[in-house]
A and B are shown apart, each in its own frame.
Chain A
Amino acid sequence: MKIHEYQAIQLFKNAGMPTPGGEVVSELAQGLTVANRLGYPVVLKSQVLVGGRGKAGGIKVVKNEIEFKEHFVRIRALKIKGYSVEKIFIVPAIEIKKEFYAAVAIDNIKGDVVLIASAEGGVEIEETAKTNPQAIKKYYMNGQKTIDPTRWPEFIGSVFPDASDQKAATDILQKLITVFFTQDCSLAEINPLVKDAKGNWFAADAKVNFDDNAAFRHPDLEVLRDISYEDSDETEAKNLSLSFVKMDGNVGCIVNGAGLAMATMDTIKLLGGEPANFLDVGGSSNPAKVLNALKIILRNKNVKSILINIFGGITRCDDIANGILQARKELNIQVPMAVRLIGTNEKEAKEILKTVNIVSHPTMRSAVEEAVRLAKKSVG
């Protein structure tokens, strides 16, 4: 789960990290009150869960009320990568002396948590990683949740050569690591980490992603979810333990397993069709999952044919077949279907399908070919 900058900043503030303060608002009148209290200049920061908001004009320093009004209205009307700006975070402008980068993340290959820091902070950090990788320093946690005092001095010295900066930086980085572990993040990033002209430090921008697999340990974080970023069908699917992503085509598909689901979509495309969705029913599927999956797919009026491609492992084909039967009883399905069930309990499944005259295709290719043909026939 991704959260907004203002929420991440609040999380950092709660952990005792220095932040510039500020407030998030939706309306101009509220915004003006906040700006007057903070005192100009202030920064208007659009709150969107996609990158590139700076380049899209979603961040602006304003010096007075006239500029504030102009840019608040402009930013509020922006669409950044298709998402409208519903909230603006108003923060005091900081007189930046030096910008750093800091993040705690997972290094998948090493199977470890890594703290990444650089004295070259700011929006060009990825470019720096490519052109000047020596400027990016990494500190591996070695499976520990706190820093190792024997290895730390060398690392902190490599990013913050100025001894007077090291104490403040260590304090902030230690807290960032703590937030990462206590909240089960998959990313906790400060960019930039700022030192101002007076020598004060601030986490001036924050990005936090949570590990969805650890959500059961953090029911309290659920309130931070911004559902406006989630397609309502996708959210509903998720609540039903289905993984669903809507696409533009007309062949609806129900598949088990993400890899096979992607390969099925690729095959549809390679054989001249267009997939209407990605849908993974997951493992251990019970018949109700198929019924729910069909309900969601049939809501999409672009869908002209449905392809059910199941290779049973932990998923049992007879469960899927019973789900198809149940769906045919409960839903008025007008869209033609191509079915292929193979693997665990495939014989039982074929017997079940025989009762409603559905014949399972022997291969993925033949099932996809039929689904594509049915979709084209329906379009005419």
Chain B
Amino acid sequence: MSILINENTKLLVQGITGRDGSFHAQKMKEYGTNVVGGVTPGKGGQEVAGIPVFNSVAEAKAKTGANTAVIYVPAKFAKDAMLEDIAAGIELIICITEGVPVTDMVEVSRELRKTKIRLIGPNCPGLISPGKSKVGIMPGHIHKAGPIGVVSRSGTLTYEVVDNLTRAGIGQSTCVGLGGDPIIGTRFIDVLELFEKDPDTKGIVMVGEIGGEDEQLAAKYIKQHIKKPMVGFIAGKTAPEGKRMGHAGAIISGGDTTAKAKVQALTDAGVHVVDFTDEIPSFFKNLL
């Protein structure tokens, strides 16, 4: 099994006629993802790599039975693309677009709260259940089906971790890139819960970075709810401290956003935290 996407995923690609949209629509299709349609307003009736293009998500959904959508539209149109998916009742939305204004995400979050729809991203690499479905921009060939769930706030750093696992012969159930923006649809805790419940996921890798308090919140959750073995990696130990201003951020989070604090929180929660990405496979080799 896997989480969130599998062989039953029927995917729409929003922004399919753009440079990135068309390139990755083709890559996803080649990987074996069931890409049922694309959406670009005004370009309905065209085809991209043999994929039919529709004018709206509602029309595409009605004609193809799509249940998942991936967004490659420019930042200024990303909010409308997400709202269109929500209105059409798409079950899972993945927003790859980076640079979405935060107040736009506040609006999207408000609409999401009224539904059971899940959003991943924005500003994320997407997710992949190796051998079944790939929704996003990650290179498919570095993945291999297997028992390890990977969840990360980063894009390319996730690939690095996956590449190390695959080279060591350890496959992945699903790899999820959450995205690096302040407001994102899905956070560590959401994915950890899904991995814990998935019978085919035997171990979990969590990749965090400096800033925010998500790793600490995840650590609290792990302590109480996660029984599966976990490895952690935190990026940004050498990053220069940001110049901060104003007190609101500290008042809201109240937490320590440094790499050191995150490593400590995860270690205290029983996560095996490593310094190098290539130390991750050996932890699982002993277990599997």
Instruction: Name the one of B217, B235, B243 contacting A50, with C-beta atoms under 8 angstroms.
Output: B243
Minimal Cβ-Cβ distance residue in A for B107: A143
Instruction: Name the one of B125, B187, B246, B252 contacting A189, with C-beta atoms under 8 angstroms.
Output: B246
Contact A257 B154 (CB under 8 A): yes
Stretch in contact with the other chain, from B2-10, B134-142, B222-230:
B134-142
Instruction: Collect the chain A residues with CB atoms within 8 Å of residue B158's CB.
Output: 259
A259/B252 contact (C-beta < 8 A), A103-B247, A143-B110, A267-B276 known: no
Instruction: Name the one of A245, A260, A270 contacting B160, with C-beta atoms under 8 angstroms.
Output: A260
| Count of CB-CB pairs between chains A and B under 8 Å | 207
Contact A259 B209 (CB under 8 A): yes
A256/B245 contact (C-beta < 8 A), A111-B109, A262-B210 known: no
B75, B102, B214, most chain A CB atoms within 10 A: B102
B103, B153, B182, B213, most chain A CB atoms within 10 A: B103
- Bound: A345/B137 CA distance, A: 13
Instruction: Collect the chain B residues with CB atoms within 8 Å of residue A181's CB.
Output: 103
Complex interface residues of chain A between 247 and 294 (CB less than 8 A to chain B) = 247, 255-260, 262-263, 265-270, 275, 278, 283-284
Contact B249 A105 (CB under 8 A): yes
Instruction: Collect the chain B residues with CB atoms within 8 Å of residue A207's CB.
Output: 245-246
- Bound: A326/B233 CA distance, A: 35
A259/B157 contact (C-beta < 8 A), A51-B245, A207-B245, A209-B246 known: yes
Contact A108 B183 (CB under 8 A): yes
Contact B139 A313 (CB under 8 A): yes
Contact B252 A114 (CB under 8 A): yes
Contact A269 B238 (CB under 8 A): yes
- Bound: A217/B79 CA distance, A: 14
- Bound: A103/B252 CA distance, A: 11
Contact A284 B180 (CB under 8 A): no
Minimal Cβ-Cβ distance residue in A for B24: A314
B20, B138, B152, B239, most chain A CB atoms within 10 A: B239
B147-169 to A contact mask, C-beta < 8 Å, 1/0:
00000111111111001000000
Query: Is B99's beta carbon under 8 Å from chain A?
Result: yes
A129/B235 contact (C-beta < 8 A), A259-B152, A262-B209, A263-B277 known: no
Instruction: Collect the chain A residues with CB atoms within 8 Å of residue B245's CB.
Output: 2, 49-51, 187, 207, 209
Query: Is A353's beta carbon under 8 Å from chain B?
Result: no
Query: Is B194's beta carbon under 8 Å from chain A?
Result: no
Contact residues on B (Cβ < 8 Å of other chain), bracket: 35 or more
- Bound: A313/B157 CA distance, A: 11
Query: Is B35's beta carbon under 8 Å from chain A?
Result: no
- Bound: A116/B180 CA distance, A: 25
Instruction: Collect the chain B residues with CB atoms within 8 Å of residue A2's CB.
Output: 245
Contact B109 A143 (CB under 8 A): yes
Instruction: Collect the chain B residues with CB atoms within 8 Å of residue A283's CB.
Output: 20, 98, 137, 155
The distance from the CB of A158 to the nearest CB of chain B, in whole angstroms, is 16
Query: Is A191's beta carbon under 8 Å from chain B?
Result: yes
Instruction: Collect the chain A residues with CB atoms within 8 Å of residue B41's CB.
Output: none
Query: Is A136's beta carbon under 8 Å from chain B?
Result: yes
Minimal Cβ-Cβ distance residue in A for B111: A143
The distance from the CB of B17 to the nearest CB of chain A, in whole angstroms, is 16
Contact A259 B139 (CB under 8 A): no
Instruction: Collect the chain A residues with CB atoms within 8 Å of residue B156's CB.
Output: 255-257, 259-260, 310-311, 313, 315, 343
Minimal Cβ-Cβ distance residue in B for A129: B251
Contact A187 B249 (CB under 8 A): yes
The distance from the CB of B210 to the nearest CB of chain A, in whole angstroms, is 7
The distance from the CB of A223 to the nearest CB of chain B, in whole angstroms, is 20
Minimal Cβ-Cβ distance residue in A for B183: A111
Minimal Cβ-Cβ distance residue in B for A107: B252
Contact A129 B254 (CB under 8 A): yes
Complex interface residues of chain A between 338 and 375 (CB less than 8 A to chain B) = 342-344, 346, 363-365
Contact A263 B160 (CB under 8 A): yes
- Bound: A278/B180 CA distance, A: 17
Contact B251 A112 (CB under 8 A): no
Instruction: Collect the chain A residues with CB atoms within 8 Å of residue B214's CB.
Output: 109
Instruction: Collect the chain B residues with CB atoms within 8 Å of residue A136's CB.
Output: 251
The distance from the CB of A285 to the nearest CB of chain B, in whole angstroms, is 12
- Bound: A187/B219 CA distance, A: 28
Instruction: Collect the chain B residues with CB atoms within 8 Å of residue A103's CB.
Output: 246-248, 251
Minimal Cβ-Cβ distance residue in A for B213: A109
- Bound: A266/B279 CA distance, A: 14
Instruction: Name the one of A112, A209, A342 contacting B106, with C-beta atoms under 8 angstroms.
Output: A112
Query: Is A214's beta carbon under 8 Å from chain B?
Result: yes
Query: Is A126's beta carbon under 8 Å from chain B?
Result: yes
Contact A49 B236 (CB under 8 A): no
Query: Is A312's beta carbon under 8 Å from chain B?
Result: yes
Instruction: Name the one of A184, A269, A313, A363 contacting B103, with C-beta atoms under 8 angstroms.
Output: A184
Query: Is A64's beta carbon under 8 Å from chain B?
Result: no
Instruction: Collect the chain A residues with CB atoms within 8 Å of residue B235's CB.
Output: 259-260, 262-263, 266
Instruction: Collect the chain B residues with CB atoms within 8 Å of residue A109's CB.
Output: 187, 213-214, 217
The distance from the CB of A191 to the nearest CB of chain B, in whole angstroms, is 7
Query: Is A106's beta carbon under 8 Å from chain B?
Result: yes
Contact A265 B239 (CB under 8 A): yes
Instruction: Collect the chain A residues with CB atoms within 8 Å of residue B153's CB.
Output: 259
Instruction: Collect the chain A residues with CB atoms within 8 Å of residue B159's CB.
Output: 260, 311, 313, 342-343
A113/B152 contact (C-beta < 8 A), A126-B250, A365-B276 known: no
The distance from the CB of B49 to the nearest CB of chain A, in whole angstroms, is 16
- Given contacts A81-B243, A111-B183, list 10 more A-B pairs with CB under 8 A: A109-B187, A129-B247, A143-B109, A184-B101, A217-B101, A259-B156, A262-B209, A266-B235, A266-B238, A284-B19
Closest 8 interchain pairs by CB? A259-B154, A143-B110, A111-B109, A257-B156, A259-B157, A214-B101, A105-B248, A260-B156
Interchain residue pairs with CB less than 8 A apart (6)? A109-B217, A111-B106, A126-B247, A245-B240, A313-B156, A343-B139
